Amino acid sequence: MTVHDHSDRPYEWVGALSEKRAALTPDRVGLVDADTATEFTYADLDRRANRTAGLLCEHDVGKGDRVAVVSRNRPELVDLYFSTAKVGAVLAPLSHRLAPRELGLILDDIEPSMLVVEAPFAAAVDEALAHDEFTPAVPPLVGLDDGTAGGDGADGNTRQDDTFGERDWLLYATAVPDDGSAIEGVDLSLSDPPLFLHTGGSTGLPKQVVQTHGSIAWNAFNTIITWGLWPDDTTPMVFPFFHTGGWNVLTIPFFHMGGTVVISRDFDPGQVLDLIEGYDATVLVSVPAVLRFMVEHDDWDGTDLSSLRFVKSGGGPCRDAIIEAWNKRGLSISQGYGLTECGPNNFAMPDGFPREKTDSIGMPCLYVDARIVDEDGRRLPQGEVGELELASPHAGDRYWHNEAETEATFGGGPAGGDGNDDAWVSTGDLARVDGDGYYHIEGRKKNMFVSGGENVYPPEIEDVITDHPEVDEAIVVPVPDEDWGEVGKAVVEGDESLTLAELQEFMDGKIARFKIPKHLAFVESMPMSGPSKIDRQTVEDEFGGDAGS
């Protein structure tokens, strides 16, 4: 039998998502800008995308060219996503939290043909472009004005003032052509990339994951079918658009379904509560820290959450106390799992899952294979901890300009005898499968440490520590020990009157004694990496050197 791979076949619908959705549901609201209370129908979004595509074409941005953007969440980023797809270009959203040198190195790596920057970050980008390590020619610069600066340039398009500095900047609002009619598409296949998304690594230069039209569509299918999205769903988007969560967790799946996405420039837990009630939001997916901030907000008890169909937590373990707080509001939280390199929506909870399974990430989505392997790539039996590997058509294609890391992550690791090992993505996360088929994340491979010959997985310990009423957040890091090789140190955000002896007494009987931390340190607040995720590496760098630090 001949098997045909159509991933390289050109299709007219590839890159035409806004056009197709506008044809099917032109009057349905696809996007809401909460900061301006502006609603955009799918017909509006397609016209805006055509106008932005006109700007790209005027500057010869075409198939395979990169368009970098440094901005908070705003409608223009959706315009850029749809328009770059129309002309075959690649959108590369970059974190506005990066230092100028980091921005410069990334821009040097991807060599954008256009750079779009929101006004508050113009100075950092200007510094990045002036850095010695930035070598390409400076691309056309397009500024997203926040409306606070005055005066346009003589031609009505170019701004040269305190907002954007001395370089020549085109103002997006006036540079985009008025014509919103359809443009002629280009030949695109499912294997062509529309999006670069950089990883949120806490050390080293972030790697650019090349997302293809096919991988993005398959993630949308997995999400829609396995999570059960509806065309009339509405969600507040609390992930930034420089993160895979901003696009692939819900935004693009919602656009496939014709749902409504509500965005705002900056996250505020009170605002999200207002958005849920004000827009009758039906779906909420967030990192655990955001769910915690919402629970702790003064408006928590008074906000009507009855419109929500389901709530999911991702990006790290959600503490039992937070899960319980949502449960008391009549909402069952499930935990998801994903990474920029694959998905990110890989797992789902079965209908009617028992409460005791909430600490798991559920079972693989319809079009996802998962396995647990040892250091040699051999599949491990049920219950044993090993590295989680995933295989799915929604996996990213590769890392941009990084063959070694591509082989290590997307090459499946050592051959494990299962066949097709090059189809597996190595996640770097430790996991196990329980007797009912639920997957449980046990931590990162590099975070595991050995104490007295026993493997210790910090997230398991952190779950127990954060059950203590005086603890808000906790990270456990290994420190050297003469007797046991390594032992744990609990780094805690919380009441500093808590003593080590009190914490150890609280943990006694809840966890094996060799896992109980032997040292305790406090921080005023945890360092963060990415969208409200604790920067574990920074904590380990500061507190893991010796027992007394």
289 and 357, same domain (yes or no): yes
244 and 311, same domain (yes or no): yes
| % of residues, the chain, pLDDT over 70 | 91
Q: What value does the mean pLDDT take over residues 111-123?
A: 96
From the CB of residue 60, how many other CB atoms can be counted at a distance below 10 Å?
Answer: 10
Q: Which runs of E-coded beta strand occur in 379-424?
A: 386-391, 398-399
Domain end: 403, 421, 443, which one? 443
- Residue 5 belongs to some domain of the structure: no
The alpha carbon dihedral of 131, 133, 137, 141 has a sign of: negative
452 and 438, same domain (yes or no): no
- Residue 75 belongs to some domain of the structure: yes
Instruction: Give the Cα separation of 267 and 271 in Å (integer).
Output: 8
Structure tokens at 55: 């700007």
- Residue 499 belongs to some domain of the structure: yes
Instruction: Give the Cα separation of 102 and 497 in Å (integer).
Output: 39
Instruction: Give the Cα separation of 409 and 400 in Å (integer).
Output: 13
355 and 426, same domain (yes or no): yes
Quote the pLDDT of residue 422: 67
Structure tokens at 71: 């901005």
523 and 389, same domain (yes or no): no
The continuous run of DSSP H or E covering 518 comes out as: none
Please tell me the least confidently modeled range out of 150-164, 178-192, 408-422, 479-493.
Answer: 150-164
Q: Which residues contact 144 (CB under 8 A, 6 or more apart)?
A: 71, 74, 76, 116, 117, 118, 119, 172
pLDDT digits (tens, 9 = 90+) for 390-431: 999 999 999 999 998 899 999 854 444 454 556 899 999 999
**C-alpha distances out from residue 488 to 385, 481, 483, 518, Å:** 19, 9, 13, 6
Instruction: Give the Cα separation of 338 and 359 in Å (integer).
Output: 15
Collapsing DSSP states into helix, strand and coil, what is residue 240? coil
Q: What value does the mean pLDDT take over residues 472-496?
A: 91
Collapsing DSSP states into helix, strand and coil, what is residue 222? helix
pLDDT digits (tens, 9 = 90+) for 243-262: 999 999 999 999 999 999 99
217 and 178, same domain (yes or no): no
Q: Which runs of E-coded beta strand occur in 131-253?
A: 141-144, 158-159, 169-171, 195-198, 208-211, 234-236
Domain end: 192, 223, 243, which one? 192
Please tell me the least confidently modeled range out of 98-102, 198-202, 542-546.
Answer: 198-202
Most confident segment among 255-259, 336-340, 508-512? 255-259
pLDDT for residue 149 is more than 50: no
Q: How many CA atoms lie within 13 A of 509 on its CB side?
A: 2
- Residue 21 belongs to some domain of the structure: no
Quote the pLDDT of residue 444: 76
Closest listed residue to residue 67, CA positions, set 77, 343, 166: 77
Quote the pLDDT of residue 435: 96
Quote the pLDDT of residue 116: 98
Q: What value does the mean pLDDT take over residues 284-300?
A: 92
- Residue 27 belongs to some domain of the structure: no
| % of residues, the chain, pLDDT over 90 | 69
Cβ-contact 91, 81 below 8 angstroms: yes
387 and 521, same domain (yes or no): no
From the CB of residue 499, how many other CB atoms can be counted at a distance below 10 Å?
Answer: 10
510 and 427, same domain (yes or no): no
The alpha carbon dihedral of 286, 223, 340, 53 has a sign of: negative
Instruction: Give the Cα separation of 8 and 187 in Å (integer).
Output: 10
Please tell me the least confidently modeled range out of 93-97, 203-207, 516-520.
Answer: 203-207
What total of structural domains would you count in the chain?
3
524 and 394, same domain (yes or no): no
Residue recorded with tokens 């409608």: 75
Total length of the chain: 549
Quote the pLDDT of residue 438: 98
173 and 224, same domain (yes or no): no
Closest listed residue to residue 484, CA positions, set 456, 446, 525, 444: 456
Instruction: Give the Cα separation of 93 and 198 in Å (integer).
Output: 8
CB burial of residue 532 (10 Å; 0-12, 13-18, 19+): buried
Closest listed residue to residue 389, CA positions, set 372, 411, 410: 372
369 and 460, same domain (yes or no): no
- Residue 1 belongs to some domain of the structure: no
Instruction: Give the Cα separation of 364 and 439 in Å (integer).
Output: 8
- Residue 12 belongs to some domain of the structure: no
Instruction: Give the Cα separation of 80 and 468 in Å (integer).
Output: 46
Residue recorded with tokens 């040292």: 519
Residue 93 sits in a domain whose CATH number is 3.40.50.12780
Give the chain's end-to-end CA distance (angstroms, integer).
Answer: 65
Residue 516 sits in a domain whose CATH number is 3.30.300.30
Instruction: Give the Cα separation of 87 and 60 in Å (integer).
Output: 10
54 and 159, same domain (yes or no): yes
pLDDT digits (tens, 9 = 90+) for 343-396: 999 999 999 999 999 999 999 999 999 999 998 999 999 999 999 999 999 999
Quote the pLDDT of residue 24: 98
pLDDT digits (tens, 9 = 90+) for 200-218: 543 456 789 999 999 999 9
Domain end: 443, 470, 492, which one? 443
The continuous run of DSSP H or E covering 491 comes out as: strand 485-494
pLDDT band at 119 (very low <50, low <70, confident <90, very high): very high
Residue recorded with tokens 């989505």: 365
Q: Determine the structural domain holding residue 453 and report its residue range.
A: 448-543
Collapsing DSSP states into helix, strand and coil, what is residue 270? helix
Closest listed residue to residue 69, CA positions, set 199, 303, 240: 240
- Residue 9 belongs to some domain of the structure: no
pLDDT band at 228 (very low <50, low <70, confident <90, very high): very high
